[in-house]
Structure 1
Amino acid sequence: MNRTITQEETEQLFQFCRRHYVYHYDVQIELVDHLASSIEEQWKQNPELSFDEGLKNAFKKFGIYGFSKIKKQKERELKRKYNRLLWKYLVKFYRWPKVITTFVSTLGLFLLFQVIEKSIWIIGSFMLLLFIGVILYHFLIFKKAKLEAIPGKSFLLVDQYSRVTQTYSVIAQLPNISFQTFNILGLKSIENIWILLGLSFFMVALTVFLYGQFFYVPQKIKEHFLEQFAEFAL
């Protein structure tokens, strides 16, 4: 009968990961699985090999920066995964039947540009509304619905959830950027219909993107976390 990793040895592997600066539990699980498989594979060849010696041999395969590389790889995988989810969400608004809502919104905004002479006020008001919306979202929604793990446990998924706040600083600058651009160009209004149509398309697309970034993606991350680590959620 082949020798297998015991529960006590599994805990030692988790401690080993923590000693090597891997603090995210979801990354630790993956590393522990790799290490345990490697040790058990060695035991098939040499059943008398000690656990410590097997662990030392297994760790050598990762190299000096092996653990940090796996952590970065995991971060990239998560980022790509949720970027793909966001992209799929955005594309839905330009496919039937949601494209009707997107088209009507874009057309309505374009007609508004035709009615109001000073385009700067429409663009500035839109950016200001986005800024106010982000502030309200942060204090009234995000903080209350925040994903948190029990004390003593760190998760890469939780960090990914919290990263939506990184968009705040960009949104906060949009009203200022808009007015500065108009001032530099010496414009108060835009008369070219193609530019106005492009602006209308961009403003609607930006709204859809931000809704997906602040509501859809965080909800998906939360669902995935609860599916995998429900016992660690607060």
Structure 2
Amino acid sequence: MKLTNPQIENLYKFTRQHYVYHYDVQTELVDHLANDIEEIWQAQPDLSFINARDKSFKKFGIFGFMDVVEAKQKQMNKRYWKILLRFAKEWFTLPKIITTALIFLGFFIVLQIPYSEFILLGTLLIVIIFEMIMIYKVRKERKKKEKNNEKIFLLEEMIGTTKNGFTVMALVNLFNIINLTNFNFLEMETYLLVIISFILTVLCILFYVSNYVIPEKAEELLQETYPEYKIVKSL
């Protein structure tokens, strides 16, 4: 016995009710549930759809779909990092390497200015505030999409939120390190200033790539990851 379209739709609603928010993860779980329900019906043909569905769901254990969701998040997180590094590497090839070198020199020069730590702290604080505002806007947009029952893919949300979470965490940690350790860059050896300038340059590139480059290429990346993305979004 095959599942009907209304029963498939019921499975999508069922996964959503159990805190699976992303369409691609829902689809994977619905496929698994549908196949399992059909196997259950072969052994127990008189069992109702709801009972067969609940019996299949129990096989996921006490945490339900959470283990599957976490596994998919880890998998997509790795993919996001590969995308991030792919675009970041471009900044170390011509002609962008020239801009990268100028950013590095800019940091190196600033670090040798008196009270440079305060300049960095002030800049970091402004960037952190900007990032927090962006996170708020992205989350507000997600709630709007959920309210309109729009289908949201896992990578789609990562492009909007995970990047901000990573950037904020990195910037806050850097802010704390500079603020709590009372760095005096003028007393540091040149090689240390070079290392710090390089780290700041890399963070700057990651910030730009995650906040501007990847979002601009979001449609292309999502279609590359999900062959069904364009069709689903047009429904």
Fold-level match, TM-score > 0.5?
yes
Q: Which residue of 2 aligns with 1:193?
A: 190
Distance 2:11 2:181 in 1: 56
Tell whether 2:176 aligns with 1:182: no
- C-alpha displacement at 1:30, in angstroms? 1.8
Larger radius of gyration: 1
Question: Which residues of structure 2 form unaligned runs of 5+?
Answer: 224-228
* More displaced 10-residue stretch of structure 1: 153-162 or 81-90: 153-162
Alpha-carbon RMSD across the aligned residues, in angstroms, is 3.7
Q: 1:107 aligns with which of 90, 105, 108?
A: 105
The SS at the match of 2:147 is coil
- Normalization by structure 2: what TM-score? 0.71
Q: 1:151 aligns with which of 127, 140, 147?
A: 147
Q: Which residue of 2 aligns with 1:129?
A: 123
Distance 2:212 2:37 in 1: 43
Structure 1 residues 20-77: Cα deviation after superposition (integer angstroms, max 9, x where no partner): x23414232221111112334555x569454525435533543443522111112222
Indicate how the Cα distance of structure 1 residues 31 and 216 shifts in structure 2: closer, same or farther if over 3 A, else same: same
Distance 1:108 1:180 in 2: 24
- C-alpha displacement at 1:207, in angstroms? 0.7
Indicate how the Cα distance of structure 1 residues 231 and 197 shifts in structure 2: closer, same or farther if over 3 A, else same: same
Matches within 5 A, 1:211-222: 211-220=208-217
The amino acid that maps onto 2:207 is: L
- C-alpha displacement at 1:151, in angstroms? 0.3
Aligned residues: 221
- C-alpha displacement at 1:201, in angstroms? 1.0
Indicate how the Cα distance of structure 1 residues 151 and 17 shifts in structure 2: closer, same or farther if over 3 A, else same: same
Question: Which residues of structure 1 form unaligned runs of 5+?
Answer: none
Q: Which residue of 1 aligns with 2:226?
A: none
Q: Which residue of 2 aligns with 1:171?
A: 171
- Normalization by structure 1: what TM-score? 0.72
Distance 1:219 1:41 in 2: 44
Tell whether 2:33 aligns with 1:30: no
Distance 1:92 1:13 in 2: 43
Contact 1:75-1:156 at 8 Å conserved across structures: no
Distance 2:16 2:175 in 1: 45
The amino acid that maps onto 1:6 is: T
Structure 1 residues 148-203: Cα deviation after superposition (integer angstroms, max 9, x where no partner): 314064846365323444343653564453143236xxx36134111111122111
- C-alpha displacement at 1:91, in angstroms? 2.0
The SS at the match of 1:93 is helix
Q: Percent identity?
A: 27
- C-alpha displacement at 1:141, in angstroms? 9.8
Indicate how the Cα distance of structure 1 residues 168 and 109 shifts in structure 2: closer, same or farther if over 3 A, else same: closer
Contact 1:93-1:102 at 8 Å conserved across structures: yes
